[in-house]
């Protein structure tokens, strides 16, 4: 999310104001690169997207601000397991 804000020259303060003043702490946590929260509830996420749409005038999607990083390392299937399929 921090990258999206920087790319669009949006401050955390401006986004918080666009979302409503009760969200300021949440926005500041989301905007801290490297210290983003590990979870966010869906109603808050919707409010973030609405705020970003208001500020950018664009149809901002979840994939524009969130990126999935797996904590599980996947390995290719072994030849033995492929033969069983």
pLDDT digits (tens, 9 = 90+) for 6-59: 999 999 999 999 998 788 888 998 888 887 788 889 999 999 999 999 999 999
- Which of 2, 1, 24 minimizes the C-alpha distance to 14? 24
Any idea how long the chain is?
Answer: 85
What the block records as the tokens of 83 is 């033969």
In a domain, 84, yes or no: no
- List the domain range (segments joined by +) for residue 45: 2-65
In a domain, 16, yes or no: yes
> What is the value of pTM for the model shown?
0.75
In a domain, 47, yes or no: yes
Number of domains in the chain: 1
In a domain, 33, yes or no: yes
C-alpha–C-alpha distance, residues 43 and 79, integer Å: 45
In a domain, 85, yes or no: no
In a domain, 12, yes or no: yes
In a domain, 75, yes or no: no
């Amino acid at each position: 999310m921090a990258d999206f804000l920087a790319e669009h020259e949006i401050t955390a303060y401006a986004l918080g104001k666009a979302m409503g003043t009760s969200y300021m702490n949440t926005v500041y946590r989301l905007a801290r690169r490297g210290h983003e929260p590990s979870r966010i509830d869906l109603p808050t996420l919707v409010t973030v997207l609405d705020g970003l749409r208001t500020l950018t005038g664009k149809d901002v999607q979840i994939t524009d601000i969130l990126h999935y990083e797996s904590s599980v390392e996947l390995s290719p299937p072994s030849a033995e397991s492929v033969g069983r399929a």
